[in-house]
Amino acid sequence: MNTISKTLALMLLVLAMPAAAAASDDPLDSSQWRYMLRQYFPDAKVVFDDRVQVVAPDYAEDSLATPVQVRAEGLEDVERVLVLADHSPINPVLDYYPVRAAPAIGFHFKVQQATPIRAAMRTADGTWHVGGVWVDAEGGGCTAPSVGSASPLWESRLGEVEGRLWARGDRSQRLKFRVVHPMDTGLAAGIPAFFIRSVTVSDADGRTLARLEPDEPVAENPVFALDLKHAGAVTVEGRDNNGNVFSARIPAPAS
């Protein structure tokens, strides 16, 4: 091959790799994004997509519990939602599978330093659609001990669930639940990682409506808000990384 055809071949190769192109096109201009792409989306097609919205304050008033709401308007067939923080000692924040639910989740997370917080939504065709915002912070959220770890009270209440459903139009419900758990990251000296590993929401027939896998950065005593495509009572069941299990039945909303 002569030089010109080599160059042409290289150009074609570049055009055929949208993921690689995405690294330099990062709308959040994060130095970590190239690494994040390699680490979390190897060989996958990744596109930045304005329909994927991450709503979070531009400054973390509480670095131990910064609220975030992830949602997608007009993006169909979302099978998985991966929430990531570029500049965090632990990048994955939460993994969400909205089986019979909208690709939307609200919760709080710990912020160690200024970082992009991103949601990557994988659609049925295998493409990851990415949106996000920067959150600035004084920091220290991930390396601080939980409040619970300093109090004897949490142990007797570990795994308690408080939950409620709200009707949201035809056969849709907002589910919100809170679980008592210290969610220790393992990064505070002398306190091992201790966090909720998985939660499954199912209907009365045992069919899975939604599944989520929190990571260490999810805030202590987490509150999750989900939008289920389902009417009626649900069951919330979960497990932490030490094998403790919890479950609760959330009654249908009073109409």
Partner 1 sequence: MIRGALSGCLLLAGLLVMPGAMAASRYYDIEPVEVAADTYVVFGAQENFNDANHGAIANTGFIVTDEGVVVIDTGPSRLYGQALREAIGRITEQPVVQVYISHAHPDHFLGNNAFDDVSIAALPGTIDAVRAVGSDLAGNLYNLVGAAMRGTSAVVPDQAVESGTTATFGDHRLRLLAAAGHTAADLMILDTTTGVLFAGDIAFHDRAPTTPNADIDAWRAVLAQTRAREFAVLVPGHGPSTPDDAPLSQTGDYLAWLVDRFTQDANDGMSAAEVMFQPLPERWARLAVQPGEYRRSVSHLYPAIEQSALPERTE
The tokens describing 126, both together, are 């295998």
Is residue 115 a contact point for partner 1 (CB under 8 A)? no
Q: What are residue 249's phi and psi, to 5 degrees?
A: -100, 130
CA atoms within 13 A on the CB side of 152: 0
What Rg do the C-alpha atoms of the chain give, in angstroms?
Answer: 20
From 101, 102, 111, 161, residue interacting with partner 1 (rule: CB under 8 A)? 161
- Does position 162 bind partner 1 by CB under 8 A? yes
Q: Which two tokens stand for residue 58?
A: 């531009």
- 80: how many CB neighbours lie within 10 A of its CB? 15
- The answer to whether 137 contacts partner 1 (rule: CB under 8 A) is no
Shortest reach from residue 77's CB to partner 1, in Å: 24
* Distance in angstroms (rounded) separating the CA atoms of residues 97 and 111: 23
Residue with smaller CB distance to partner 1, 20 or 167: 167
**Member of 160, 203, 213, 237 binding partner 1 (CB under 8 A):** 160
Q: Print the binding letters for residues 189-218 with partner 1: x by CB under 8 A, - otherwise.
A: ------------------------------
Contacts 24+ apart (CB under 8 A), 134-138: 134/28, 134/58, 135/56, 135/57, 135/58, 135/59, 135/60, 135/66, 135/111, 136/58, 136/59, 136/60, 137/59, 137/60, 137/63, 137/66, 137/111, 137/112, 137/113, 138/60, 138/63
Which lies closer to partner 1 via its Cβ, residue 69 or residue 127?
69
**67 is a site residue for partner 1 (CB under 8 A):** yes
The Cα 252–Cα 168 span in angstroms is 12
Span near partner 1 by CB under 8 A; candidates 27-35, 51-59, 148-156, 184-192: 51-59
User: Is 73 among the residues that bind partner 1 (CB under 8 A)?
Assistant: no
Q: Establish if 66 lies at the interface with partner 1 (CB under 8 A).
A: yes
* Residues between 217 and 236 that touch partner 1 (CB under 8 A): 223, 225
Per-residue tokens: 176: 């919100």
Of the residues 27, 92, 106, 232, which one makes contact with partner 1 according to CB under 8 A:
106
Q: Which of 22, 46, 65, 183 binds partner 1 (CB under 8 A)?
A: 65
Q: Count Cα neighbours of 42 within 13 Å in the Cβ-side half-sphere.
A: 2
Query: Of 176, 197, 211, 229, which lies in the binding site for partner 1, with binding defined by CB under 8 A?
Result: 176
Q: Which residues bind partner 1 (CB under 8 A)?
A: 55-57, 59, 61-62, 65-69, 106-108, 138, 160-164, 166, 174, 176-178, 223, 225, 248-251
